[in-house]
C-alpha cells in the first residue's frame, strides 16, 4: 500500500522532526490506527522510522525528497519534460522498457530519465536483486535511441561509468575507481552499479535503457542483506541534497552520451584507463566456465578488456565476463 496519504505522511516526516499519530491523523483526516498502517508501509519500503511513546514517529535520518522541478532547475536548459520523479516503482528500468513497448517514447528525444525514491523489484546484473530502500540512494533509468543500431553501443556501460565517476569527483568524492565493465568503487568497495538493457530492437535503430543505482546512505536493515563489499556516499564524507547529486550526475551523463553517440567508446579510452582500478594488477577473468588469469592492461577502443598472459595480450568482450583480483 502506497497512496497519496502515505506520500503526505512521508513529506511531513522528511525533515526529521517528531510527528505524533494524532497530528498526522488530523493532517490526513484519518484515525491514528490508520496512520500506523501507513507508517508500516513506509517501513516495509525500507524507511528507517522509529517511535517514542508520548512523542510520536521520527525518521532515523532526515531526507530531502527528490523533486522533478528542483532537478530540472539545477540542470537549466529547459529540459524538465525529460526528467520524471516517482516515489515507488517496481524497477525504473522496467518502467522505461514499458514506455518503449507502448510507443510512448517514439517521438521523445533521447535522454528521458525517471528517478524513483524506492524500487520494490530493483534489479542488478546477472539476475541479482538491487536493494532499493526508500530515500536512501539514487535509482534512475535513462532512455537512449541509437539510430545506427546495437553495434553502436559497444563500450556503452564503460562510458556510463566514466560519467558517474567524473560527476562524483565534481561533487568532492575522492578515491574512486572503475571496475570493468561497469562498477563504480570507493576505496575498493562497490558504490554504484549500472544495468544496461536493450528493448524494442527495430531493423536499424535500437532503444537502450541505462539503469543506475548509487548508494547514498543505506540503512542497517539493508546493509545486512548485501553479499559483497559495498560503500555509500555517507562514508565518503559528502553530505549533499540528493537533488544536487542527481542533477550533477545527469548533466555528466548527458554530455557523455552525446559524445558517445557521435564518436563511440574510442573517445573515452584514455579517461577510462585513468580511473580503472585494476590496470596493471593480476586478474581472473571469468567467461562462462572459463577462467583466464593474467595482468589487466586496460581497455581497447571498443571497450574490451586487454589481459596479458604468458607475455601475450588478448582482448575480451561481452556481458558475462567478470573480473576479480587474484588472492
Ligand atoms: C549492478 O548489478 O551492478 C547493476 C545495478 C543497477 C541498479 C539500477 S537501480 C535503477 C535501475 N533499475 C533497476 O531495477 N536496476 C537499475
The ranges of the chain annotated as CATH 1.10.10.10 are 4-59
278-325: CATH, from 1.10.40.60, 3.40.50.10140, 1.10.10.10, 2.30.30.100: 2.30.30.100
Distance 140 CA to ligand 1 centre (A): 8
* Ligand 1 pocket residue status of 153, Cβ below 6 Å: no
Tell me the CATH number of domain 4-59, given options 1.10.10.10, 3.20.20.240, 1.10.579.10, 3.40.228.10.
1.10.10.10
Pocket test for ligand 1, best of 119, 128, 191, 213 (most atoms within 8 A of CB): 213
b/e map 161-200, b = 16+ CB within 10 Å: bbbbbbbbeebebeebbbbbbbbbbbeeebbbbbbbeebb
Q: Which long-range contacts (CB under 8 A, 24 or more apart) does 197-200 make?
A: 197/93, 197/97, 198/150, 198/153, 199/96, 199/97, 199/100, 199/101, 200/100, 200/101
Q: Which atom of ligand 1 is nearest to the CA of 125?
A: 2
Query: Domain 68-273, what architecture?
Result: 2-Layer Sandwich (3.30)
pTM score, whole prediction: 0.94
**Ligand 1 site, residue 190, Cβ cutoff 6 A:** no
For residue range 186-202, list pLDDT tens digits in order. Answer: 998 999 999 999 986 65
What is the secondary structure of 173-205 as a DSSP string?
A: --SEEEETTTEEEETTEEEEEEEEEEE---SS-
Which pLDDT does position 204 carry in this prediction? 82
Helix (H) or strand (E) holding 95: helix 92-101
At 131-189, the pLDDT tens digits run 999 999 999 999 999 998 888 999 999 999 999 999 999 999 999 999 999 899 999 89
Classify the C-alpha dihedral 217-221-224-227 as positive or negative: negative
Amino acid at each position: 500500500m502506497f497512496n497519496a496519504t502515505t506520500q503526505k505522511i512521508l513529506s511531513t516526516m522528511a525533515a526529521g522532526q517528531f510527528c505524533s499519530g494524532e497530528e498526522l491523523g488530523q493532517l490526513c483526516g484519518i484515525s491514528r490506527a490508520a496512520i500506523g498502517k501507513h507508517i508500516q508501509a513506509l517501513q516495509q519500503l525500507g524507511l528507517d522510522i522509529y517511535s517514542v511513546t508520548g512523542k510520536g514517529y521520527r525518521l532515523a535520518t532526515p531526507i530531502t525528497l527528490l523533486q522533478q522541478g528542483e532537478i530540472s532547475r539545477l540542470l537549466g536548459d529547459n529540459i524538465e519534460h525529460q526528467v520524471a520523479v516517482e516515489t515507488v516503482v517496481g524497477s525504473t528500468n522496467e518502467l522505461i522498457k514499458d514506455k518503449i513497448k507502448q510507443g510512448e517514447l517514439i517521438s521523445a528525444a533521447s535522454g528521458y530519465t525517471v528517478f524513483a525514491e524506492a524500487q520494490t523489484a530493483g534489479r542488478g546484473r546477472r539476475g541479482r536483486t538491487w536493494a532499493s530502500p526508500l530515500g536512501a540512494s539514487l535509482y534512475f533509468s535513462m532512455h537512449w535511441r541509437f539510430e545506427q543500431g546495437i553495434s553502436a553501443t559497444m563500450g556503452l556501460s564503460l562510458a556510463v561509468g566514466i560519467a558517474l565517476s567524473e560527476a562524483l569527483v565534481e561533487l568532492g568524492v575522492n578515491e574512486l575507481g572503475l571496475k570493468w565493465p561497469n562498477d563504480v568503487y570507493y576505496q575498493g568497495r562497490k558504490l554504484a552499479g549500472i544495468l544496461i538493457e536493450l528493448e524494442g530492437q527495430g531493423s536499424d535503430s535500437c532503444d537502450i535503457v541505462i539503469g543506475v543505482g548509487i548508494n547514498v546512505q543505506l540503512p542497517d536493515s539493508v546493509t545486512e542483506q548485501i553479499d559483497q563489499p559495498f560503500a555509500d556516499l555517507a562514508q565518503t564524507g559528502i553530505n549533499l541534497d540528493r537533488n544536487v547529486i542527481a542533477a550533477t550526475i545527469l548533466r555528466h551523463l548527458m554530455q557523455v552520451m552525446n559524445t558517445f553517440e557521435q564518436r563511440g567508446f574510442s573517445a573515452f579510452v584514455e579517461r577510462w584507463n585513468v580511473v580503472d582500478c585494476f590496470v596493471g594488477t593480476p586478474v581472473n577473468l571469468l567467461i562462462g566456465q572459463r577462467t583466464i588469469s593474467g595482468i589487466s592492461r586496460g581497455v581497447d577502443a571498443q571497450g574490451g578488456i586487454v589481459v596479458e598472459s604468458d607475455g601475450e595480450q588478448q582482448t575480451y568482450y561481452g556481458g558475462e565476463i567478470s573480473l576479480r583480483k587474484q588472492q
